[in-house]
């Protein structure tokens, strides 16, 4: 069944599937890349076809699907380039079913979901992230830039959109991670920053970094849900957290942002999304990597914002930036595979390899993108042209950087 499904999808590229009995079937037009798969379990030949979006990753993780020629990247790239639900009624049916799923994340569940991923070993994240431990889309102004340079660009780009043109502005960072953005806004822009995270490990490291920061009392981090905060704040920023809100909570999220934002305040939401129709997140990612996660289409985000009375004052779509970010992460992860295996095991390594490859392919071949949405309560809260963003960003890039307090390796 799985081989038949592949035959209905793949037109370009070359797949050779070896079943559990050793039989070979060649699929595609013979062009590169050439990939050979071996299925080590007869049962997998059926289960892989029933829900491939979930079961292909599971089979690879468990060693029931083995790549004998080529790489996992080659295989998923071939599948993404050929993916067309019109050629496969079964895939079209599964896609229609999935579109009905909408995640809800009340406070208690949100805490458990965050702990599943972000409270993993600190050493794991040191292996593949940049020295500031930015775990979100970088901003590549030049193809030759390092990951560290691109992540610095991202923080500078976001700060420019927040209009931090006076010191002492109160900034709320929702989903503050390991504290890197908060430190940047406090140390470089003179802001008074409150960061909130639901990850105990992220909070621990953020507090450690804050204790060494020259920003002093202008910087604090709380182990707290954004829904439990009291405002107002002059600026609100959220990077890589909206993906964990859940579609059923979008209106609640933007309502709370409006309540926490000062009358003349500015908010900036940075999130992964879809460039096409609303759909749920990949089931493998939801089950094994980010439980409770959901990716929005812009139609869903705008619909939620419209019901809260907020103004969308700017939207920017970052297309291939996350593909390049993930490529850097994937290369670093693969180069230090043995270290990850020592922390966990080979199965964990294959699970994370599948996650990193699948996401990169999603940004290169499918409809994944990142959006940055600037929102305000007042129509006149920001200048009426975008020149201020470019001017501020260029000035900040030319200015000398303050001392860096990076994550200790």
Q: Tally Cβ neighbours within 10 Å of residue 170.
A: 17
**CA-CA distance, 70 to 294, in Å (whole number)?**
31
Given a contact cutoff of 8 angstroms between Cβ atoms, the answer to whether 172 and 399 are in contact is no
The residues that are catalytic are 359
Which of 278, 280, 276, 256 is CA-nearest to residue 267? Answer: 256
Q: Which helix (H) or strand (E) holds 362?
A: helix 346-365
* Residue 379 token pair: 């129509």
Per the CB < 8 A criterion, the answer to whether 48 and 56 are in contact is yes
Longest dimension (CA), the chain: 70
Contact 335, 265 (CB under 8 A): no
312 exposure class (CB count in 10 Å sphere: 0-12, 13-18, 19+): middle
DSSP characters over 264-305: EEEEEEEEEEESSS--PPPHHIIIII-TT----BHHHHHHHH
Q: Report the C-alpha gap between 27 and 29 in whole angstroms.
A: 7
Describe the crossing of helices 200-211 and 180-189 by its angle, rounded to 10 degrees. Answer: 30
| Phi/psi-derived region of residue 103, left when phi > 0, alpha when psi is between -120 and 50, beta in every other case | beta
Closest by Cα among 16, 63, 28, 79 to 357 = 79
Question: How many CB atoms sit inside 10 A of residue 383's CB?
Answer: 11
Distances (CA, A) of 269 to 32, 241, 247: 40, 9, 15
Query: Which contiguous run of DSSP H or E holds residue 251?
Result: helix 250-260
Angstrom distance (rounded) from CA 353 to CA 337: 9
Residues in contact with 207: Cβ distance below 8 Å, sequence separation at least 6, in sequence order? 221
Q: How many CA atoms lie within 13 A of 360 on its CB side?
A: 20
């Amino acid at each position: 069944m799985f081989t038949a499904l592949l035959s209905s999808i793949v037109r370009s590229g070359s797949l050779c599937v070896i079943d559990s009995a050793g039989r070979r079937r060649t699929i595609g037009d013979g062009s590169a890349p050439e990939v050979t798969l071996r299925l080590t379990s007869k049962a997998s030949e059926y289960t892989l076809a029933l829900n491939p979006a979930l079961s292909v990753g599971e089979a690879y993780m468990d060693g029931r699907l083995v790549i004998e020629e080529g790489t996992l990247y080659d295989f998923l790239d071939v599948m993404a380039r050929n993916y067309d639900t019109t050629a496969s009624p079964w895939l079209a049916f599964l896609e229609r079913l999935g579109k009905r799923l909408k995640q809800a994340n009340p406070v208690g569940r949100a805490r458990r979901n965050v702990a599943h991923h972000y409270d993993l070993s600190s050493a794991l994240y040191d292996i593949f992230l940049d020295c500031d431990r930015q775990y979100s889309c970088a901003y590549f102004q030049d193809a030759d830039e390092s990951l560290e340079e691109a992540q610095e660009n991202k923080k500078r780009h976001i700060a420019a959109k927040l209009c931090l043109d006076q010191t002492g502005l109160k900034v709320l960072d929702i989903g503050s991670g390991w504290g890197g953005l908060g430190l940047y806004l406090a140390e470089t822009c003179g802001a008074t920053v409150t960061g909130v995270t639901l990850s105990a490990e992220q909070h621990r490291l953020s507090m450690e970094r804050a204790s060494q920061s020259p920003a002093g009392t202008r910087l604090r981090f709380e182990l707290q849900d954004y829904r439990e905060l009291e405002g107002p704040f002059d600026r609100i920023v959220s990077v890589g957290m909206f993906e964990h809100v859940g579609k059923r909570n979008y209106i609640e999220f933007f309502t709370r942002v409006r309540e926490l934002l000062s009358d003349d305040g500015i908010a900036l939401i940075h999130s992964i999304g879809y460039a096409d129709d609303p759909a749920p997140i990949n089931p493998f990612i939801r089950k094994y990597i980010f439980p409770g996660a959901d990716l929005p289409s812009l139609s869903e985000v705008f619909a939620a914002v419209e019901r809260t009375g907020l103004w969308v004052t700017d939207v920017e779509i970052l297309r291939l930036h996350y593909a390049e970010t993930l490529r850097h992460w994937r290369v670093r992860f693969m180069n230090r595979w043995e270290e990850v295996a020592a922390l966990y095991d080979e199965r964990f390594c294959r699970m994370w390899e599948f996650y990193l490859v699948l996401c990169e392919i999603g940004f290169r071949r499918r409809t994944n993108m990142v959006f940055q949405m600037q929102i305000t309560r007042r129509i006149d809260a920001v200048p009426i042209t975008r020149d201020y963003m470019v001017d501020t960003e260029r000035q900040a890039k030319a200015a000398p950087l303050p001392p860096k307090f990076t994550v200790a390796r």
